[in-house]
């Protein structure tokens, strides 16, 4: 009887340990649920602020242009009705933040709200391929952000039983996934998380992991915060990685400065600190290679 062969550790290179194989990413990362945090907030206003901070965590961290959130008109297990809280405190909570909101649907049983940051959304829709795809669907150009949003809202209200599939582009999903879901691309479906993946699933999985990381970090801050409104006001309008228009890539904010010893020092210049957020921002955290890369929430 031959002895069992010892387990072999994954090979490492000079650049560091090997990345996790794709098959190890098939299990969904854990996503924090709002119901686990609701008992921490006794005041109605703080409860709604914490709910919005968690559900827009990716947008607040600058990693997603928008989130689509459904607020149903019913009592939650915590004893509160978020629809009534939104009617009372919603508009006032968004003052002092970079978040904007547009109501896609309004009914007696609840609201469907799109929370977004104008600068991020405009940058995302202004990408050449994305703009051309939306225009092929009948959307106006992205020079005026309000026009595509008005057209999206019109399509939501025209069909009250489903939603336009191009909403994925407004939510920051990859164009290849949105086009594949709409049968405008012949790539096969290769996976699914909050949205369906088409073609190479690696960039989509990395993006999903990044969204999940932002949400879980926000949940950790909310768990130990006594003032969730401050977390709601940390929104930053920062560029999404890989979402810049092709003609605008020369305007990168990351520069190379010369160190006194002659070595190149890579860092964020003062202008990028004013316009964006440091990669070690508390809602983004240190960025690993594996985590560099919607959702419609049913409340």
Higher pLDDT, 149 or 38: 149
Contact 195, 168 (CB under 8 A): yes
70 — phi, psi (to 5°)?
-100, 125
Percent of the chain at pLDDT above 90? 47
Express each pLDDT in 106-156 by its tens digit: 988 899 999 999 999 999 999 999 999 999 999 998 789 999 999 999 999
Residue 235 pLDDT grade (very low, low, confident, very high; cuts 50, 70, 90): low
Determine which helix (DSSP H) or strand (DSSP E) holds 274, and give its type and residue range. Answer: helix 270-275
pLDDT of 254 > 70? The answer is: no
pLDDT of 218 > 50? The answer is: yes
What residues does each domain of the chain span?
32-238+294-298
Higher pLDDT, 93 or 262: 93
Higher pLDDT, 284 or 75: 75
196-198/110-116 β-pairing: unpaired
Residue 137 makes CB contacts below 8 A (sequence gap 6+) with 166
Higher pLDDT, 37 or 88: 88
Per-residue pLDDT at 7: 46
Residue 210 pLDDT grade (very low, low, confident, very high; cuts 50, 70, 90): very high
- Residue 233's CB is within 10 A of a number of other CB atoms, namely 18
Contact 215, 31 (CB under 8 A): yes
296-298/66-72 β-pairing: parallel
**Residue-averaged pLDDT of the chain:** 76
Residue 286 pLDDT grade (very low, low, confident, very high; cuts 50, 70, 90): very low
Express each pLDDT in 57-77 by its tens digit: 999 999 999 999 999 999 988
Question: Could you say which DSSP state residue 252 is in?
Answer: -
Per-residue pLDDT at 108: 85
Q: Is 46 helix (H, G, I), strand (E, B) or coil?
A: helix
Per-residue pLDDT at 113: 96
Per-residue pLDDT at 245: 39
pLDDT of 280 > 80? The answer is: no
- Which of 63-67, 207-211, 293-297 has the weakest average pLDDT? 293-297
DSSP bridge pairs for 258: 264
- Rounded CA gap, 227 and 49, in Å? 9
**What's the pTM?**
0.70
Higher pLDDT, 215 or 250: 215
Q: Which stretches of the chain are assigned E, i.e. beta strand?
A: 12-13, 16-17, 66-72, 100-107, 110-116, 189-192, 196-198, 254-258, 264-268, 296-298
Q: Is 103 helix (H, G, I), strand (E, B) or coil?
A: strand
- Rounded CA gap, 128 and 47, in Å? 40
pLDDT of 257 > 50? The answer is: no
Express each pLDDT in 161-180 by its tens digit: 888 999 999 999 999 999 99
Question: Could you say which DSSP state residue 91 is in?
Answer: H
Contact 292, 206 (CB under 8 A): yes
């Amino acid at each position: 009887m031959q002895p069992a062969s010892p387990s072999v550790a994954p090979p490492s290179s000079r650049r560091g340990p090997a990345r996790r194989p794709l098959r190890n990413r098939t299990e969904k990362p854990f996503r924090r649920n709002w119901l686990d945090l609701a008992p921490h907030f006794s005041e109605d206003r703080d409860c709604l602020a914490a709910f919005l901070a968690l559900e827009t965590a990716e947008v607040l961290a600058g990693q997603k242009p928008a989130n689509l959130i459904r607020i149903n008109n019913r009592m939650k297990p915590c004893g509160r009705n978020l629809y009534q809280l939104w009617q009372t405190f919603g508009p006032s909570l968004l003052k002092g933040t970079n978040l904007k909101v547009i109501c896609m649907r309004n009914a007696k049983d609840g609201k469907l709200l799109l929370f977004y940051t104008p600068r991020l959304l405009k940058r995302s829709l202004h990408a050449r391929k994305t703009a051309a795809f939306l225009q092929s669907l009948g959307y106006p150009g992205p020079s005026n952000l309000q026009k595509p949003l008005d057209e999206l809202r019109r399509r939501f209200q025209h069909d009250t039983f489903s939603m336009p599939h191009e909403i994925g582009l407004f939510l920051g999903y990859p164009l290849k996934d949105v086009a594949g879901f709409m049968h405008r691309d012949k790539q096969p479906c290769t996976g699914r998380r909050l949205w369906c993946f088409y073609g190479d699933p690696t960039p989509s999985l990395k993006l999903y992991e990044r969204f999940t990381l932002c949400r879980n970090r926000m949940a950790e801050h909310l768990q130990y915060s006594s003032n969730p409104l401050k977390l709601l006001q940390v929104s930053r309008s920062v560029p999404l990685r890989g979402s810049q228009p092709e003609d605008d890539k020369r305007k990168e904010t990351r520069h190379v400065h010369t160190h006194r010893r002659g070595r190149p020092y890579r860092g964020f210049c003062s202008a990028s600190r004013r316009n964006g957020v440091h990669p070690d921002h508390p809602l983004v955290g240190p960025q690993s290679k594996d985590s560099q890369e919607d959702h419609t929430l049913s409340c």
